[in-house]
Amino acid sequence: MKLIACPFDGDKKKLKEFIENEDVVFELVDPGKHGVLLKYVKAKITGDARSKLMFRDLTQSWELVKAILGENHTTRRMLDYDACKMFSDMQGKNESIASLGN
């Protein structure tokens, strides 16, 4: 249980770290104990993230919990952002045109 050190409160910047940490924990623990571990992991989810999990009744596995967290707390870039970035980029001093295009 010491492997799950920090709680997750819905902060989009901390989601990736939380998921990666829990993935490692689930790999280390005996598969027969995943049910108990899942309850402990869900107890470490607080705030807005917890209310999203409570609203959905599909939290019987870590994969489902991870999918719900990802769908509600990831930062999504819109097509407008990518297009604006592409049109505002300029060729660097030592950058080739092919590299700029990529």
Q: How is the chain split into domains, by residue range?
A: 1-89
Collapse the DSSP code of 6 into the 3-class scheme (helix H, G, I; strand E, B; otherwise coil) and give the result. coil
pLDDT per residue over 20-31, tens digit each? 889 988 998 899
Collapse the DSSP code of 90 into the 3-class scheme (helix H, G, I; strand E, B; otherwise coil) and give the result. coil
Helices (H), 1-102: 15-28, 34-43, 47-55, 62-73, 79-88, 97-101
Query: Number of C-alpha atoms within 13 angstroms, CB side, residue 10?
Result: 9
pLDDT per residue over 35-75, tens digit each? 888 888 888 888 888 887 777 666 788 888 888 888 877 76
Q: Taking the CB of residue 62, how many other CB atoms lie within 10 A of it?
A: 18
CB–CB of 17/9 below 8 Å?
no
The whole-number pLDDT of residue 46 equals 87
The answer to which of 52-56, 66-70, 76-80, 87-91 has the lowest mean pLDDT is 76-80
